[in-house]
Amino acid sequence: MKRIAMCWRPACYNRDCTLMADLYSDDITNDKAYPAATILQDIRSLIASGQREGPLLDYKADVSPKDNWPETIAAFANTFGGIIIFGVEGQADQPRRLTGYDPKGVEMKTRLGSTILSRIQPRPDIQIRIVNHDTDPSNEVAVLRVAEGAHPPYMHNKGDEHRIYIRSGAQKVEADYLQLNALYEKRSRTTPRATVSTSDLQQRLNVKTPGENRPSEHWYRCIITPESPGASRRLTAAVEQEFEEGIVRFFTGGMVGPGAKREQHLTLYQHQKDAGHEQVFAITSDGTVGYATHACTNTNDGLFFSPWDFCVDLINLLGLATWAYEHAHYYGELRLTVNIMVPEASHFSPGSFHGRLVLGPLFDPPPKVVTANTTAETRITLHPATGEAIRRALASIANDIARSTGTVLGPTFDEFATAFTDIALQTLAHP
């Protein structure tokens, strides 16, 4: 029996006469809760019931850059939201059959997302699901859902043309003066969502002295913050589960994930890596990802800071953030901020990775002492994930840290960054 949703949308019924609302309300990207077979069944139910295009629904036979589908997305975002189904042949606004489209070797989810990012400003809140056609696996079917925008007007640009569209019936129309005024008024009436500020998050991302209930005197903290509000989403149990799975994948070597501490707009995870290294992770409702851990290893000769450990942790965090933003459907630019706090008397470890791939110090010359407080910041785009983007962010942060100690990145740094970035990308590619 299908779920019943009480909200206004096209009245679509399955064969058992229950109201079908999944495509409009459920998380279409969750292939476990919403498998491909159900996606195709629900699309066929739309077609069988003769559901025409309307204020919330549009069909496209193919995914073509020459088509007007990005304009339709902008119109949906400016009006009530809606969905586009790619791979449905029809006549006028009437669907006829589900044929799918030939992707021609293109990773279509990335193409759809990057096209929206390049042609619609600000970025609308979207979900994309690609499934293979069940009777012709060489073809695909895509569902692209856009939410009613909280920050209108959403402008479509193509070349030198910049236009604002709204949805009127089954058509997009260019907004007139009164409609444009209404969109700006809607933006001004939007109540800002209560979120965790960066300073609040910094206070929560702290680690304790081993065996004691007081803040540690040495730590590093990394915070990745979306530059636009488009990443906002509810912190549901599914979101927490996805984020926790990412923590296990990138940081704990397949161990059982840590428990969650929930607040209204923030979920914290604490993991005891070993007796001397506590790890704290955070994800917020506005899409911020945070991480903190102990900066130094306590030895008989004192506290030692390891650049190798720090860089590996940062690469893993960038992988975790990529994992999180893939599930959050966030395609925009991010701000990465890193703080390192160590006692003045702490030293650097030799900094060599005596492994199969890299030999030699990461910094040249190897620094002797870490300054007490170092801050570095850079900007990065993590979706789609590329090794070059992760390495560039790592090098930017590491070089700022190196210069604060009177040195620069060593000749083996690129080899080290490449080796561990490749490992992170392999982790992303094999869920």
Query: What is d(CA 220, CA 296) in angstroms, rounded to the nearest whole number?
Result: 9
Q: What is the pTM of this model?
A: 0.60
Q: Most distant CA pair in the chain: distance in Å?
A: 78
Residue type (1 letter), 338: V
Average pLDDT of span 10-23: 48
Length of the chain: 431
The string of DSSP letters for 158-204 reads ETTEEEEEEEETTEEEE--HHHHHHHHHHHHHPPPPP---HHHHHHH
Residue type (1 letter), 409: L
Average pLDDT of span 139-165: 91
Taking only the tens place, the pLDDT of each residue in 31-71 is: 888 899 999 999 999 999 999 999 999 999 999 867 789 99
- Assess whether pLDDT exceeds 80 at residue 350: no
Go through the domains of the chain in sequence order and give each one's CATH number: 22-189 (3.30.950.30), 198-429 (no CATH)
The string of DSSP letters for 49-112 reads TT---BTTEEEESS--TTSSHHHHHHHHHHTT-EEEEESEEEETTEEEEE--B--TT--HHHHH
- Local structure of residue 229 (DSSP, 8 states): G
Short-list 119, 28, 12, CA closest to 67: 119
Query: What is d(CA 407, CA 292) in angstroms, rounded to the nearest whole number?
Result: 25
* Element holding 272 (H helix, E strand): strand 266-274
What pLDDT was estimated at residue 14? Answer: 47
User: Residue 8 in 3-state DSSP?
Assistant: coil
Query: What is d(CA 30, CA 322) in angstroms, rounded to the nearest whole number?
Result: 17
Query: What is d(CA 134, CA 100) in angstroms, rounded to the nearest whole number?
Result: 10
Q: Which tokens go with 5?
A: 């949703």
Pairwise pLDDT comparison (209 vs 57), residue with the higher score: 57
The string of DSSP letters for 238-259 reads HHHHHHHHHHHHHHSTTPPPPP
Taking only the tens place, the pLDDT of each residue in 21-34 is: 468 878 888 888 88
- Assess whether pLDDT exceeds 80 at residue 390: yes
Question: Is 141:97 a contact under the CB 8 Å cutoff?
Answer: no
- Assess whether pLDDT exceeds 60 at residue 219: yes
- Assess whether pLDDT exceeds 50 at residue 13: no
Query: What is d(CA 198, CA 319) in angstroms, rounded to the nearest whole number?
Result: 21
Pairwise pLDDT comparison (394 vs 331), residue with the higher score: 394
